[in-house]
């Protein structure tokens, strides 16, 4: 049924515009009601009263989830909103977490799901443009009617799978909890060459396809190599690994893969190993800053690192190190960067096939 839906909706759009608009509004309203778990029934003060918290506390959680404030008289909330707030407040009252932690957890959910939903809808729209040549919202809404339950289940599955991996790590190592926030990691920055020039020359859709291609390839390589993508920011991917050896193989694989890709330009990569602070899903500290600075020193299609990280790569069978000229690096003084190159044709690279 899902496979035939686009053709049916395209025919309807072509044949009857006003009727289609009414049908679209009804379909969207029905889907919104389904997603919200019921009709809007409460104003914000009524929600707070039902849960037994102050309006201020309720608003803090609402904002942390990424939603704008609503007016005092607006009937904007559903039974599902009441249930969600009740769960969070219950965890605080039971002493499982305190209110600042509840706010932090809510903010993590809000920011992550905001990007997730945007990403998924954009991918769906791109698919519809490529498959049926439509750029309207009619087909997207129709697809979402059929996809919403599957998407929800995949999100829950992925969250549980990732949480299970962290739980397993905590169970295997009593000290792992400390490492979740402060530990030694290898940090890598992969930066697209000539992105500013390309962003001015390419059409908006072409630029979007380039960025999407870059982020997809980079994420696949990093994940396949045992690393973690921390974030992507248009022309740059920040990733971490537990050791420099894995990071070097990932970085070289990224460089080679982008070099032969027809859409994405070359990348330059900087690697640094050292103490890193992890907070709110991101990484911070001097090691992160150094990796970023090193990226700026790399030539297109190359990978560079600092002397301390290079010392940990000595003897690695898949890489060779070549010292470069001494450079002055802002915030770090004089540095002799080292080029990381493949050890030979038999060096291990990441295969995505």
* Residues linked to residue 201 through DSSP beta bridges, in sequence order: none
> Contact 182/276 with Cβ under 8 angstroms?
yes
Task: Render each residue's pLDDT in the chain as its tens digit; 353 residues.
Answer: 344 343 334 333 444 456 667 778 888 889 999 999 999 999 999 999 999 999 999 998 998 888 888 888 999 999 999 999 999 999 999 999 999 999 989 988 888 888 888 888 888 887 787 776 655 667 788 888 889 999 999 999 999 998 998 888 778 766 665 555 678 999 999 999 988 788 788 888 788 888 888 888 898 999 889 899 998 887 899 999 999 999 999 999 999 999 998 888 899 999 999 999 987 778 999 999 999 999 999 999 999 999 999 999 998 888 999 999 988 888 898 989 999 998 877 666 676 66
Residue written as token pair 């050292």? 274
Measure the CA–CA gap between 156 and 163, rounded to whole angstroms: 11
Secondary structure of residue 8 in the 3-state scheme = helix
Measure the CA–CA gap between 216 and 349, rounded to whole angstroms: 18
Give the HSE-up count for residue 121: Cα atoms under 13 Å, Cβ half-sphere: 14
**What does the pLDDT read at residue 11?**
34
User: By C-alpha distance, which of 245, 244, 254, 197 is closest to 223?
Assistant: 254
| pTM score, whole prediction | 0.68
- Going by DSSP bridges, is the β-strand pair 303-305/333-335 parallel, antiparallel, or unpaired? unpaired
Give the HSE-up count for residue 189: Cα atoms under 13 Å, Cβ half-sphere: 24
């Amino acid at each position: 049924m899902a496979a035939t839906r686009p053709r049916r909706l395209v025919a309807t759009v072509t044949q009857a515009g006003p009727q289609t608009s009414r049908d679209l509004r009804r379909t969207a309203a029905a889907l919104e009601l389904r997603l919200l778990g019921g009709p809007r029934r409460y104003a914000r003060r009524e929600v707070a009263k039902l849960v037994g918290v102050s309006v201020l506390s309720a608003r803090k959680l609402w904002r942390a989830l990424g939603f704008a404030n609503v007016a005092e008289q607006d009937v904007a909330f559903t039974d599902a909103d009441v249930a969600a707030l009740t769960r969070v407040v219950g965890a605080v009252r039971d002493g499982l977490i305190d209110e600042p932690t509840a706010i932090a957890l809510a903010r993590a959910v809000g920011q992550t799901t905001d990007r997730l939903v945007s990403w998924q809808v954009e991918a769906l729209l791109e698919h519809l443009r490529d498959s049926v040549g439509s750029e309207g919202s009619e087909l997207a809404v129709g697809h979402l009617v059929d996809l919403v339950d599957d998407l929800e289940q995949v999100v829950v599955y992925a969250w549980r799978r990732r949480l299970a991996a962290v739980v397993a790590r905590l169970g295997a190592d009593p000290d792992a909890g400390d490492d979740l926030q402060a530990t030694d990691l290898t940090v890598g920055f992969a930066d697209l060459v000539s992105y500013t020039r390309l962003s001015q020359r390419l059409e908006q859709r072409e630029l979007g396809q380039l960025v999407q291609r870059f982020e997809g390839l980079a994420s696949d390589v990093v994940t396949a190599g045992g690393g973690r993508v921390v974030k992507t920011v248009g022309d740059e991917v920040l990733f971490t690994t537990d050791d420099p050896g894995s990071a070097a193989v990932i970085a070289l694989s990224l460089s080679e893969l982008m070099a032969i890709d027809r859409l994405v330009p070359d990348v330059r990569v900087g690697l640094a190993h050292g103490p890193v602070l992890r907070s709110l899903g991101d990484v911070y500290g001097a090691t992160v800053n150094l990796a970023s600075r090193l990226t700026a020193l790399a030539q297109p299609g190359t990978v560079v690192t600092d002397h301390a990280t290079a010392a940990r790569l000595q003897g690695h069978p898949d890489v060779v190190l070549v010292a470069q000229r001494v450079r002055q690096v802002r915030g770090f003084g004089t540095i002799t960067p080292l080029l990381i190159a493949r050890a030979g044709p038999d060096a291990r690279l990441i295969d995505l096939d």
